Structure 1
């Protein structure tokens, strides 16, 4: 049970792929943690409220059970098992999330593809996979990764994968969606100052009660370094911070790194100038979506694209040690590592 992984402590700060930075405190901070969705989950409150923590972890467990592809009886796996056979009726929230994932997947030149499941399963990057598929294997799987072959019926709330062997995977969007649901639950419980870290998806409510601090400090992780090594600190209030980087899940073969961010056009890991993309937004689900979209675009195209979506801001970390900010309307960034420079 998820509750068995729960522990409570005061002022217990941890660092994950996007770290949370402790600031000088004049009030006690209660830190609740559990391991869910294969990641350490962290909730920070300014009151000892174990009932709220239990409700949060219960909600995450419930959502994970619906959306995972790692359990045979989740709603997602029921859809996948029926590929090429018949439509599957799902709950309205799952249908709407699938609909959103399809819309983003069908955007022009989108690197986001929720039907990429067969390729992810073959590569197994981050899941003890350390072999490169042959070109013939990749070519045989690419026809099964077409988002236009996912048929949605809003009236029946059903999903049908038109080809046998297709698999949808919401792993690139589920954490953000769940983080937003946790935020909504906390607000319904009257909690308006908190921090949620779903193993890298950091979502803040309000501002912290650290003296005169007006923002939460979120660490930007240094790629291919120790877990607590940071490039700098992102200060936000009431925002989501999501980072996606090639150092999160990868293997190396013959001097070449193969990471988990796959190009849906080629079936191989994307190869461009980026090490990571961090998105600052109101909703964490947008952070999930745009980290993938922007990574696929590369820096120049992404910076131009962001001028058309003012509610999204981004931080790009390049292979040459540059840190590029799209703007700083919703956050402030402080560089801390001399190996990198602000471009």
Structure 2
């Protein structure tokens, strides 16, 4: 899957686990169960899970189950597997008897597209493909695709023409294609959290591209995530408590143009405004805390694309979320433009 914002999610994990990136450092008491920590690759990028459970063998077996579920879901959502359900949908323009998860996630994406006036659009893939193809050619113009090429690609983009049902998904425009990279990491993160909780694991920290936490650390303190400055990776802008208790945030997602840049110009990146076909540069980064990682994932992408004037109506639909906006100088504000920080 497209590595959209791995920098901030990894930075968040490093801040949770300790001051040295990639090395866990827990402040657990002697009586606390030692956490079982898994680190590896999921969805093409570095990932981690930390399970607080007295039975290490059981925790390791549960991690294996979680990774099998990640693999199953990636076989549905991946754009980089020719046999995935999503790839088959894009190749044929329709998919009969789609998996329930694909129907659920695409339906949510279309509802977010409607709520945002098209700032978020799962059918943006033809534009992304245009940019990737352009910059993969030797001697490509550093200014990006021409206005005519962008206009032509935009004719294949339009969420209103995507039909989703339990029996069939159909793309209504010739050459249309779907990407769920703005949602799939959050959705898979939620599925793993649900699987863990259903099997009695109530104190866990998950980073599969988006952060999700249940319960607390071994010492009873909340998990904490640091949101890094996209312009200065070693600098933490603010920290947030993650977990299930009052005053904590169950899920955290961050989006920014730093995730995948096209060419030497940092203003040309993968977070495209489907309405214009151009990269969105209203903010350097956006972080969203929400009850579910799927929602945090989708909203962080959408709010990165929306201008400050456009975000208020969208956020009115989601009163349980909290948002932070980072500008190029590393200043953090809330949705009202006032300075904001962590907790």
Q: Tell me which residue corresponds to 1:266.
A: 276
Cα distance in 2 between the residues matched to 1:293 and 1:209: 35
SS at match of 1:247: coil
Matched, 1:25 2:34: no
Indicate yes or no: 2:47 matched with 1:36.
no
2:260 equivalent among 244, 249, 260: 249
After superposition, the C-alpha distances for 1:235-268 in whole angstroms (9 at most, x for unaligned) are 2223001000122221454x55212110101111
Q: Distance in 1 between matches of 2:77 and 2:263?
A: 30
Are residues 1:289 and 2:298 paired? yes
Does the CA contact (< 8 Å) of 1:35 and 1:41 recur in 2?
yes
After superposition, the C-alpha distances for 1:173-220 in whole angstroms (9 at most, x for unaligned) are: 001110110011001110000000013x00001122225x2x211010
Offset of residue 144 of structure 1: 0.5
* Number of the residue aligned with 1:315: 324
Contact 1:249 1:259 in 2 (8 A): yes
1:204 to 205, 209, 213: 213
Distance (whole Å) between structure 2 residues aligned to residue 267 and residue 257 of structure 1? 13
Compared CA separation, residues 182 and 246, structure 1 to 2 (3 A)? same
**Distance between the aligned counterparts of 2:239 and 2:95, measured in 1?**
47
- In structure 2, relative to structure 1, the CA distance for the partners of 1:87 and 1:32 (3 Å cut) is closer
Structure 1 portions without partners, runs of 5+? 1-13, 335-343
CA distance in 1, matches of 2:90, 2:342: 42
1:82-102 deviation line (CA, Å, top 9, x unaligned): 12xx55321122112111112
Deviation for aligned residue 1:306: 3.1
1: CA distance between counterparts of 2:116 and 2:36? 45
2:162 to 144, 147, 150: 150
- Pairs within 5 Å for 1:322-341: 322-326=331-335, 333=342
Structure with a larger share of its residues in helix: 2
Distance in 2, matches of 1:58 and 1:33, equals 15
User: Is the contact between residue 18 and residue 242 of structure 1 (CA under 8 Å) also seen in structure 2?
Assistant: no
Which residue of 1 is the match for residue 23 of structure 2? Answer: none
CA contact (8 A) 1:110 1:296 kept: no
Asked if the contact 1:18–1:243 (Cα under 8 Å) also holds between the matched residues in 2, the reply is: no
Structure 2: how far apart are the matches of 1:108 and 1:232?
27
CA contact (8 A) 2:52 2:218 kept: yes
Q: Quote how far apart the aligned CAs of 1:54 are.
A: 0.6
